[in-house]
Chains A and B, each alone.
Chain A
């Protein structure tokens, strides 16, 4: 079966800074795969390469067999990307924002309308969708963006810190949405997070990265048992030698 993501020996340099240093992993279709690591570990760089925003200095990254460097336009048709702490267009209403996004994916008006209704359901924003985005709280904006990322049923959703900066209620809502959506539509999700509870709750497999390379990879249970600890946070501390 074709892998959803196949990253082989990926390197990325920004001037003298080595952001990725031989990163390799694969993600199977339908998985929720989590990248965890300290700030500056290379999580966002890896996700940006997958999202076709930046190019690797060396190595390769494939999404459902498509090389992100050679076929970026084809890759963009099957992915959706949610940047960390992203905003939406403040002077559009939530609904206008969703309509704007849907127009890039659906030639058929009914299909576009259907995806907008789906996004409205995912966001749970109800009548507030008619209000301008600038009146939304941070949590509401994030719900709108998650809905946008999932509304077109991408084959791969790339979510950078999906619940970053959100309160418990909004974070819980978003985690539930992601989990339900994956179960319902078989979408593959690649996410990064600092929140170990979130990663343990959501991810089928996890890669712990530091300084642009993988330290350990496996299911949350495998990683915990390998270090003989109770949770991923402790495993993280052991793996990075910070314990």
Chain B
């Protein structure tokens, strides 16, 4: 015979993973929606790039000097799709161009060559022809910027070369080469501070994000699990079975952990696909993080595991305590909503800032929120700050013990059946 606890856990997992709302909302949606979002953004970016590549420029040459010819030759050398149009009044030329797919008209006014050769600024008039308001249309309209900029650099190189024939133009233009080194945790690393900051950024964002997703989905699952039982009155039957009430609570917690973990893994995979599609936090180049002393040590892994375990247990127990006051799933979700703030606030704040740099009163508020300590522990893991990790684990464990005690109290009394959240009407004195 399976033990009562394993029987309960199996039932919880089956019941929840077969629930289309949970399976779709918590597991399949993140796996499908995030990659689709990433692909959609990627497709839009590709479209913009493509439209920039395929943009056709029109040039009206009103200057007959060699520099105007050189500019057009430079465009052609860059394989820019170019249409040379006859000299005509600007308004008329633009009206004609509106009927085509050309988005930019570059007018080389008289005096362009003369200005450039006499040390003055050569002027160009660029007219963008917009047909709609979109990123790709905007990108097409700015298609002239890149070839003009390249021609400009060519002119500067030529001028530098003439002025300093015995020097390399790039040395004249960029005379100082900076080699970056970083002293980090007692080691001299041959990397730039920006590179290191990139790694820290990915961790600052990554872990609070994972903790936030995991906790919110775990709380929703646990709340749904208990409120479905109340809604269907299966909880009443369950509580009259010859099984310890604490086993029922433990079964709910364990079942919710498994389902929440599946949801969190799905969310992480989905977010990774999304992030990979649109941008990358990882700095360029292949660098061994272990070499930099930025990988987790076995002790840090262990402590991080303890942190996550205790954190999830407390969130689940908290959700169960709250959901007990509901009569159905909808009510439970509404009650859980405001409590999500104690997860979301520290996660969002600590994604962007270290707690030490925040105003004192705000630090106090954050320290009073239990899940701040989970995030602090996860951040400390990467710099091997075990003291902070242990202190955070102690704080979150204390909170977990209190919440578990309350949940156990609720489950071993009739409150689990009779608890209701009611707003008492004020008594009116007759």
A residues touching B (Cβ–Cβ < 8 Å)? 14, 48, 51-55, 73, 76-77, 79-92, 96, 100-101, 103-109, 112, 132, 145, 148
CB of B341 within 8 A of chain A? no
Besides A83-B237, A84-B233, A92-B15, 16 more A-B contacts (Cβ < 8 Å) are: A48-B417, A53-B236, A53-B240, A54-B414, A54-B417, A76-B240, A76-B243, A81-B236, A87-B234, A88-B232, A90-B232, A91-B16, A92-B14, A101-B241, A103-B1, A104-B241
Q: Is there an interface contact between B7 and A100, defined as CB atoms closer than 8 Å?
A: yes
Asked whether A100 and B232 contact (CB < 8 A) given A79-B240, A109-B1, the answer is: no
CB of B84 within 8 A of chain A? no
CB of A161, distance to nearest CB on chain B (Å): 12
Task: Please tell me the size bucket of the interface on B.
Answer: 20 to 34
Top 6 A-B pairs, shortest CB-CB distance? A87-B232, A91-B18, A86-B233, A54-B414, A81-B240, A83-B236
Please measure, in the bound complex, the distance between the C-alpha atom of A148 and the C-alpha atom of B233, giving whole angstroms: 15
Our pick among B15, B236, B241, B414 for the contact of A76 (Cβ within 8 Å) is B241
CB of B401 within 8 A of chain A? no
Our pick among A77, A87, A109 for the contact of B233 (Cβ within 8 Å) is A87
Q: Is there an interface contact between B239 and A106, defined as CB atoms closer than 8 Å?
A: no
Please measure, in the bound complex, the distance between the C-alpha atom of A53 and the C-alpha atom of B241, giving whole angstroms: 10
Q: Is there an interface contact between B14 and A96, defined as CB atoms closer than 8 Å?
A: yes
The secondary-structure label for the interface of chain A is loop
Asked whether A86 and B236 contact (CB < 8 A) given A54-B414, A103-B7, the answer is: yes
Contacts of B2 in A (CB 8 A): 103
Please measure, in the bound complex, the distance between the C-alpha atom of A98 and the C-alpha atom of B390, giving whole angstroms: 46
Closest B residue, CB atoms, query A50? B240
Please measure, in the bound complex, the distance between the C-alpha atom of A195 and the C-alpha atom of B201, giving whole angstroms: 69
Q: Is there an interface contact between A104 and B243, defined as CB atoms closer than 8 Å?
A: yes
CB of B116, distance to nearest CB on chain A (Å): 77
Our pick among A55, A80, A84, A89 for the contact of B414 (Cβ within 8 Å) is A55
Q: Is there an interface contact between A91 and B14, defined as CB atoms closer than 8 Å?
A: yes
CB of A47, distance to nearest CB on chain B (Å): 10
Please measure, in the bound complex, the distance between the C-alpha atom of A52 and the C-alpha atom of B234, giving whole angstroms: 15
Asked whether A83 and B1 contact (CB < 8 A) given A53-B239, A73-B242, A92-B15, the answer is: no
CB of B134 within 8 A of chain A? no
Contacts of B286 in A (CB 8 A): none
Contacts of B418 in A (CB 8 A): 14, 54
CB of B153 within 8 A of chain A? no
CB of B18, distance to nearest CB on chain A (Å): 4
Contacts of B242 in A (CB 8 A): 73, 76-77, 104-105
Q: Is there an interface contact between A106 and B237, defined as CB atoms closer than 8 Å?
A: no
